[in-house]
Amino acid sequence: MTEKTTELMARSVGEAVKACKHDMGYQIIFELFTSTRNVSISWAAGVDTDTAYPSDAEVLETLALLAERQIAIIDQKSPPNGAMTVTTGTPPFQFSAPAALPSADDSKPYMPNGQPYSFCDPPTTGPTISCPPPGSTAMNPSGGSPPYHFQYGTLGGFPPFGLSLGKDGQLTGTPNAATTGKTYSFVVCAIDLKADYVCRNVSIAVGQQAPPATLALSPTSAAAGATVAISGQNFTAGSTLKTLTIGTTSVLPAASVTMQANGTFTVNVTVPAQLAASTYAVTATDNAGKIATTQLSVTVPQIVVTLSVKSITCSVISTRTQGSETYYTFDTAIIGDASGPVGTIVKLRSGTSSESGQWTGSGGWSVTNTGNSGIDFQRGTGQPENTSWTVHLVRELSRSFVSYFGFGSITVEAYSTTSASVPAQRDPCSLP
C-alpha cells in the first residue's frame, strides 16, 4: 500500500511547529517537529481493528508535552546559533560546512555521490557516535579537543522531514514527498570534549525524484532477423548509450548514440537471427548509470515444406550375362528442390529395389537412410532452409524380371510440421 502523509495542526511549542501523520496501511506514525532546539518527537502504532486508539488531537498533545520537556533539557546544554566559541585549546577548534548542501530528491535516500553525507572528514563508518573514526585523524572539524560530535544549533530551523543528523556527523534518511520544491535551512554544530563548539548555517533543497528510465519497442513482437525500433525515455541528457542487449546478445549500434536534451533516444536494431521463439529482456544503460528494461517477444516464422522434381533420367551403365540371363545395371537420376524447417524429411522411393543410392545436396541437409527401395534425406541445423538435390538410384535388373514386372514408378514426398508431395513419376528406364 502507498504511504499517505497528512499535515496536521498542532498547538504552539516554542517556535515554528510542524506535525504530520503517516498512514502506511499496516502502521500509523505521528511526528511533531519544532524549530525551537530542533526537537523531533514521533509515535507509532500498528493497525489493529480490535484496538481503540486515541484521537489525532490527543496524540499531538502528548507529543507537544514531550517536546516541551525535551526543549527544557536541551536548553541546559545546547550551543546557541553562533559562529564559534573562543577556545583556550591549541590548535584552535575549527569546523567548516558548505552553505548549500547537495540537493536531495523526495522519497529517495539522501546519498550524494552514492554515499551518506557526512560533516565529518574522514566520514564515520560502522557503529560509532564520534568523529573522526577510530584510528584516524580528523581534517574537519580540527583542533580543539577531539573526538567531536554533532548536533543542531538552537533557533536555526530543521532539515527536510525524513532526514536526521547523527552524532557522528552523518545526515541520513529519506525526504518525505511533502518536502518537494522547498529549501530547508538549519544550523549544524560540531562540539569537542571540552564542550567548545563551532556552528554553521547550512541549507538543503529538495527536488522531485527524476522519473525512472524506460524503453519502448516498435513492434513489441518480431521475428528473428527482423528490425525493431528501440526508444528510450528519461535517460541522462547528453550521455551516450553504453550497452544495449536483447537477451544476452549485444545489439549496440557501431555508431555512438547520444541522448537528446530531454533524455530520449531511438535506434533501429536487428533481432539476432539465432534466437529461438521466446520472450527476451531488452536492456539499455547509459554511461551515467541509468538502466531500463522491457520485453520483446521473438517469433520464428513457420517455414512451409515445399518439394519439386525437375527431371528424371535413366541410363544403362553396365551389362553382364549369367547363363541364359542378361542383367542390366540402371542408373536413374532424379533432380529436384526441397525446403522446410529443421527436421524436414524427404523420402524418395522407386518401384523396384535398388542396390545403392547416392545423394548430393546443399546446406544442413544430409542422408539419413538408404535401403533397397530408395533413400531418405533430412534437414539438420543450420542454413539454408532449402536445397537443390540430386539422387542416383542404381539397380541391377534381369531382362526377364523387367519383362514380367516392369520398372514401376518413382515417388517423392516430404514432411515436417506440414507435408508436400509430387505425383508419382513413371520410371523412364527401358530395356536396350
Low-confidence ranges of the chain (pLDDT < 70): 1-3, 13-16, 35-40, 47-52, 70-90, 126-128, 155-156, 352-357, 362-363, 371-373, 381-384, 417
In this structure, which amino acid lies at residue 384? P
User: Distance between the two ends of the chain, CA-based, in angstroms?
Assistant: 93
**pTM of the entire predicted model:** 0.41
Residue 102's SS3 state is coil
Q: Domain locations in the chain?
A: 4-74, 104-207, 214-299, 306-426
Q: Which CATH class is domain 214-299?
A: mainly beta
Look at residue 249 in the predicted model and tell me its pLDDT.
94
Q: What is the pLDDT of residue 218?
A: 95
Domain 104-207 identical in fold to domain 306-426: yes
3-state DSSP assignment of residue 53 = coil
Residue 243 to residue 288: CA distance in whole angstroms: 11
Task: Determine the pLDDT at residue 202.
Answer: 93
CA–CA distance, 35 with 16 (Å, rounded to integer): 5
CATH topology of domain 104-207: Immunoglobulin-like (2.60.40)
- Report the CATH fold assignment for 306-426: Immunoglobulin-like (2.60.40)
Beta strand pairing call for 104-105 and 197-207: parallel
